[in-house]
């Protein structure tokens, strides 16, 4: 990608003290918990956004909350920026470092600390992967609901930072709806605990503020999350339509009728072809748009809900209705959807956008998205969480062609502006990061931004936690 997004100027005083900083951090951490050589730093220079790269000053890999606190206290004392990092699966550049920054990675903090099935909670360290929680409690009939496509790799700390969602967020909500408490280290090294196993806590909802704060208020080291009992059964069904507009209108009518399936996922023809070639999931190839609608409950409940959904789909001239007939077939349907981003990467470079729109605007935004991308001479594949209007257009381009990359970035910005203008917002689950930072002015007035920045500064007055992210670089208060 072209360097159209700037970073804060590195602090020369920090760069001049690099050897001393590395020596001090080496003394603070156990052996093998600090990386400072160029080859070792390479894997941390970017994240899944891939558009920008910066080698950090060093990478700290603490094993305990106390070690995180020691690193942050040291960095606060000497004015050293810190970039928290989970698994590096951020699609908005949220974990990209700066040359004067210490990356604090939580990968070594990967223990499940407590499973309380009576209270239906799990307490885990921030480096535990999303899927690991569900796999741990599955034999007892429970699961953790948020399920990002990257759930095999992404960690709970990163999920909290970006308020991640997933296919099943339509019924069960995103991370903030399933998070009960955190242990968090502030930038001065203070350790605080917010929430806990109870459903609610007195006082200000600081937990709600932390979830989605993109690592700018502190570093979460432990989390207590809600566990949910597995449903009696679940059944995904494929609905094929003659147009994306028809599929979008069908989604709006399903939700408008008061029907809440566990998931409604959308794919247009390019996405269908890409995913089917990879997963061989049995997707119909003679339709322009596909909905994956999953219902759950008893057989009678699923039958009744599906009957209502099918009636609505027929009003939109549905071409194909295919119910999964086995657990294997259901798994293949979801394998195709969960593999969409990786499967697309096999055929082209792409930018994955993340805007959310009201369902009533879904058809309009889909149509305009195609027009916008075509206007730049590029292609787009749409695959997203249709039930809550969380869109993920994949803009295909050649990353080695600077002009092509510039067109892709411009198209993405136009799509995000379209989402806001349609009554939606810049992000549904990927966060703002670097990617959408300068577009925040399109979503918010300066007064709105000032209030958000005041809240951020209350936690980090020096503005040293993940400093180049979320807020436009111009107009920030002096640290």
Same fold, 234-341 and 348-421: yes
Query: Computed from CA positions of residues 52, 58, 64, 65, in that sequence, does the dihedral angle turn out positive or negative?
Result: negative
From the candidate CATH numbers 3.30.70.2190, 2.30.110.10, 3.40.50.720, 3.30.1540.10, the one assigned to the domain spanning 234-341? 3.30.70.2190
In the chain, what are the domain boundaries? 112-229, 234-341, 348-421
213: closest CA among 250, 187, 242, 252? 187
In angstroms, how far is the first alpha carbon of the chain from the final one? 30
Which pair of tokens denotes residue 165? 């969602």
Q: What is the average pLDDT value for the chain, to the nearest integer?
A: 94
Contact status, residue 290 vs residue 407, Cβ threshold 8 Å: no
CATH number of 348-421: 3.30.70.2740
DSSP 146: -
pLDDT class of 5 with cuts at 50, 70, 90: low
**What DSSP element (H or E) covers 375?**
helix 362-375
pLDDT at position 201 is 80
Flag whether pLDDT at 412 surpasses 80.
yes
| DSSP SS3 for 113 | strand
| DSSP SS3 for 115 | strand
pLDDT at position 478 is 67
Distance CA 154, CA 146 (A): 11
Q: Radius of gyration over alpha carbons of the chain, in Å?
A: 22
Distance CA 216, CA 431 (A): 12
Q: Report the relative pairing of strands 219-226 and 121-125 from DSSP bridges.
A: antiparallel
Tens of pLDDT, residues 255-304: 999 999 999 999 999 999 999 999 999 999 999 999 999 999 999 999 99
Residues 6+ apart with CB under 8 A from 31: none
pLDDT at position 479 is 60
Place of tokens 């979460």: 220
Determine if residue 49 is left, alpha or beta; phi over 0 gives left, psi from -120 to 50 gives alpha, anything else beta. Answer: alpha
Query: Computed from CA positions of residues 265, 266, 269, 271, in that sequence, does the dihedral angle turn out positive or negative?
Result: negative
Report the pLDDT averaged over residues 437-443. 96
Report the pLDDT averaged over residues 129-148. 97
Distance CA 102, CA 335 (A): 37
Residues 6+ apart with CB under 8 A from 321: 237, 238, 239, 240, 310, 313
The HSE-up count of residue 324 (CA atoms within 13 Å, CB side) is 21
Determine if residue 21 is left, alpha or beta; phi over 0 gives left, psi from -120 to 50 gives alpha, anything else beta. Answer: alpha
Distance CA 52, CA 335 (A): 29
Distance CA 255, CA 301 (A): 17
Report the pLDDT averaged over residues 7-32. 96
Distance CA 418, CA 128 (A): 36
| DSSP SS3 for 414 | helix
Fold of 112-229: 3.30.465
pTM here? Answer: 0.93
pLDDT at position 202 is 84
Report the pLDDT averaged over residues 11-25. 97
Report the pLDDT averaged over residues 38-49. 95
**Count of positions (residues) in the chain:** 479
Flag whether pLDDT at 2 surpasses 70.
no
pLDDT at position 1 is 41
pLDDT at position 6 is 76
Distance CA 160, CA 183 (A): 12
């Amino acid at each position: 990608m072209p360097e159209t997004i700037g970073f804060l100027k590195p602090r020369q005083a920090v760069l001049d003290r690099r050897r001393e900083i590395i020596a001090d951090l080496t003394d603070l951490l156990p052996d093998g918990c600090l990386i400072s050589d160029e080859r070792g730093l390479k894997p941390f220079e970017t994240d899944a956004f891939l558009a920008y790269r910066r080698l950090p000053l060093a990478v700290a890999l603490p094993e305990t909350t106390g070690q995180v606190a020691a690193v942050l206290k040291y960095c606060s004392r000497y004015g050293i920026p810190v970039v928290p990092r989970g698994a590096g699966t951020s699609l908005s550049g949220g974990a990209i470092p700066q040359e004067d920054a210490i990356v604090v990675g939580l990968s070594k903090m990967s223990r499940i600390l407590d499973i309380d099935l009576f209270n239906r909670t799990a307490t885990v360290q921030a480096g535990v992967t999303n899927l690991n929680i569900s796999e741990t409690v599955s034999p007892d009939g429970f699961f953790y609901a948020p399920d990002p496509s990257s759930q095999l790799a992404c960690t709970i700390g990163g999920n909290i930072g970006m308020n991640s969602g997933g296919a099943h967020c339509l019924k069960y909500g995103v991370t903030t709806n399933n998070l009960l408490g955190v242990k968090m280290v502030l930038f001065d090294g203070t350790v605080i605990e917010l929430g806990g196993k109870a459903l609610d806590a007195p006082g200000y909802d600081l937990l709600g503020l932390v979830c989605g704060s993109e690592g700018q208020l502190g570093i979460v080291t432990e989390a207590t999350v809600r566990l949910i009992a597995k449903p009696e059964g679940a059944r995904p069904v494929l609905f094929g339509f003659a147009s994306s507009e028809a599929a979008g209108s069908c989604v709006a009518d399903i939700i408008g009728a008061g029907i809440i399936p566990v998931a409604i996922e959308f794919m247009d023809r390019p996405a269908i072809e890409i995913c089917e070639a990879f997963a061989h999931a049995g997707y119909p190839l003679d339709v322009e748009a596909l909905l994956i609608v999953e219902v759950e409950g008893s057989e009678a409940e699923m039958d009744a809900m599906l009957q209502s959904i099918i009636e609505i789909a027929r009003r939109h001239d549905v071409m194909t209705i295919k119910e999964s007939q086995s657990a294997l077939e259901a798994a293949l349907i979801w394998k195709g959807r969960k593999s969409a981003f990786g499967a697309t990467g096999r055929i082209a470079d792409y930018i994955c956008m993340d805007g959310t729109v009201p369902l009533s605007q879904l058809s309009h935004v889909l149509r305009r998205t195609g027009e916008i991308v075509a206007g730049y001479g590029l292609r787009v594949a749409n695959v997203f969480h249709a039930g809550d209007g969380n869109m993920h257009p994949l803009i295909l381009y050649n990353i080695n062609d600077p002009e092509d990359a510039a067109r892709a970035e411009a198209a993405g910005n136009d799509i995000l502006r379209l989402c806001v203008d349609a009554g939606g917002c810049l992000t549904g689950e990927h966060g703002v990061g670097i990617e959408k930072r300068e577009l925040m002015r399109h979503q918010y007035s300066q007064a709105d931004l000032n209030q958000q920045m005041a809240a951020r500064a209350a936690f980090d007055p020096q503005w040293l936690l993940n400093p180049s992210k979320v807020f436009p670089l111009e107009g920030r208060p002096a640290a």
